[in-house]
Amino acid sequence: MRIEAKVHSIKLATPFVISRGARTHCNVVRVTISLGNWQGVGECTPYPRYNESVESVLEQIETWQVNLKHLTPVQAKLQLQNFPAGAARNALDCALWALISDMDKLDFPAPYFDVNPNIETAMTVSIGSAEVMGEQARQYVEQGATLLKVKLDESDIEHRVAAVRQAAPNCKIVLDANEAWQDMELESLFQRLAHYDIAMIEQPVPAGQDELLQGIAHPIPLCADESCHTKQDLSSLYGCYEMVNIKLDKTGGLTEAFELEVQARSLGFGIMVGCMLGTSVAMKAALPIATRAEIVDLDGPVLLGQDVENGLRYSEGKLHLF
């Protein structure tokens, strides 16, 4: 097999602001694995929060391919699971899945996998003033959105949520604190937010401090994101969260994502499928899991200035594979 990795820097349509800061570009690493006339492509987004950079991901891919390129694609996919979960493994794993499907003369992800080609997805409202966030929500509603994901930090929480709810009275709304609420009086906050008909709250406290949630009454379901990477994390999340957010860049690819999904459901967790900023190459790879998820957040390409050719289509609050 021939393994190639290239970096693509993509300007965002507008600055993307979460509790950890603002971004104007995203850098993705795209891996192409070729075997004869067959080819598979995978994409990852290195994430500084997880001590990843473009350079570190490229170095991992360069190091690992020495052990992979002489194997069959199926053998390589199995061998890859011995390497650390993260962005680099994700790009390689998804490229191998795509290569194997190409060898079977089937498109990836469908019809190789049985996926729903039209899936409701969240549209992301990034952090700004309450007025700005309300306007973002209003524009999404005008475009047909039915599910909004609202980014928040520790400031002006209720005012911002109220503005979004007023602008989107009929939308399902999930909130994402990105670990920013560790100093809040959480039980009181959760009770107040329940008045805005919130469907779910993601990661209110920092990863590793999930025990802060134990014993706290919360009428709104909580979802682990930064705290949940692979199936090994699940035991520490039980009793703190009702859902887990599966992202391929965290699981290290589709292979582990399948295993995480099965084990999470066996423990009673609901499933959300999310993404980093990235193109339709990355979003398509997540569709086999997204097809069965309760909540899907795969709007990454909507936030980009330009997606790849033949990418997913987004309209009326849904992503469309075809």
Phi, psi of 11 (to 5 degrees): -75, 140
**Residue 70 burial (10 A CB sphere; 0-12, 13-18, 19+):** exposed
225 is in an annotated binding site: yes
Q: Which of 149, 172, 231, 247 is catalytic?
A: 247
Place of tokens 């008045």: 195
Are the CB atoms for 91 and 285 separated by under 8 Å? Answer: no
Q: Which of 77, 149, 151, 318 is catalytic?
A: 151
Query: Which amino acid does the sequence have at 130?
Result: A
Q: Where are the beta strands (DSSP E) in 100-169?
A: 118-120, 123-125, 147-151
Q: Are strands 313-315 and 318-320 parallel, antiparallel or unpaired?
A: antiparallel
Closest of 48, 41, 40, 45 to residue 9, by C-alpha: 45
- Give the integer Cα–Cα distance in Å for 185 and 287: 37
55 is an annotated ligand-binding site residue: no
151 is catalytic: yes
Q: Is 187 one of the annotated binding-site residues?
A: no
CA distance 59 to 156: 41
- 149 is an active site residue: no
Known catalytic residues? Answer: 151, 247
Binding residues are 176, 202, 225
Binding residues for Mg(2+) are 176, 202, 225
